[in-house]
Amino acid sequence: MKKLKKIFILELLLFFILSSNCYATDQQISQDEILESQQNSLNISKFIEEANKYTENVFDDISIEELFNSAITGKIDNTSIWKKIINLIGKEIVDCLNVLGSIIIIIVIHSILRSISEGLENKSISQITYYVQYILIVTLIMTNFSDIIQMVRTSIESLVGFMNSLIPILITLMLTTGNIASARSIRTYNIVHHHFYWKFHNSSINTIYTYINSTWNCVKSI
């Protein structure tokens, strides 16, 4: 009980000593000027430049700056973003179907050639031709697979870069608007630790998965 009283009195003293005075003015300041001054003090323009680097291949006609400004003033236009996302998914699926069709045609060609060369009496020669055709099919499938892995790698890299540039701004904004608890719950140590771990074990899918997990947790906690 005594300790609680001491803490209470100390808090009251601090509250009265450390408070600052606030005055209202007659001056008419427009909303745009306020936004600009906030942006300059928090280095938001630098973040927008960096973010544009990551999204310029994907979102051509939506700029991050417009999105940001419209989000600040409260008018968020979600429909265009959703349309863009669905367009991207559809394009990827169509490309995938093309590749699938070409693989099926290649396998048909291989079966025709194999049926011709299997009629030979000599087992070893027919086996050799079969294996040569098999290597060709495997090569074609491998090229598609390597394209996919390249795409996944670049997208994960840009995701990581975007998140890295987003986190400081995010925490700063959260602190300035007062959500200290949310800012603490992002677990910055976890993210930085996973970032370095990912750089050292670049080819391990496990770390990529755990990194994606941690960024997803971060996004969920917003």
- Residues making contact with another protein (CB under 8 A): 101-102, 105-106, 108-109, 112-113, 116-117, 120-122, 124-126, 128-129, 132-133, 135-136, 138-140, 142-143, 145-146, 149, 202-203
- The least distance separating another protein from the CB of residue 125, rounded to whole angstroms, comes to 5
- The least distance separating another protein from the CB of residue 4, rounded to whole angstroms, comes to 59
- Residue among 41 and 127 whose Cβ is closer to another protein: 127
- The least distance separating another protein from the CB of residue 96, rounded to whole angstroms, comes to 14
- Residue among 129 and 210 whose Cβ is closer to another protein: 129
CB 140 within 8 A of CB 6: no
**Hey, is 27 helix, strand or coil?**
coil
Beta carbons within 10 angstroms of residue 200's beta carbon: 8
- The least distance separating another protein from the CB of residue 159, rounded to whole angstroms, comes to 18
Comparing C-alpha atoms, which of 139, 163, 143, 140 is closest to residue 151?
143
H-run or E-run covering 76:
none
- Residue among 62 and 106 whose Cβ is closer to another protein: 106
- Residue among 79 and 202 whose Cβ is closer to another protein: 202
- The least distance separating another protein from the CB of residue 99, rounded to whole angstroms, comes to 8
Alpha-carbon separation of residue 213 from 54, 161, 184, 208 (angstroms): 20, 16, 18, 8
- What is the DSSP-derived secondary structure letter of residue 43? T
Contacts of 115 (CB under 8 A, 6+ apart): none
CB 221 within 8 A of CB 185: yes
53 alpha-carbon distance from chain centroid: 13
- Residue among 90 and 101 whose Cβ is closer to another protein: 101
- The least distance separating another protein from the CB of residue 180, rounded to whole angstroms, comes to 41
Locate 73 and state its tokens: 């003033």
- Residue among 82 and 145 whose Cβ is closer to another protein: 145
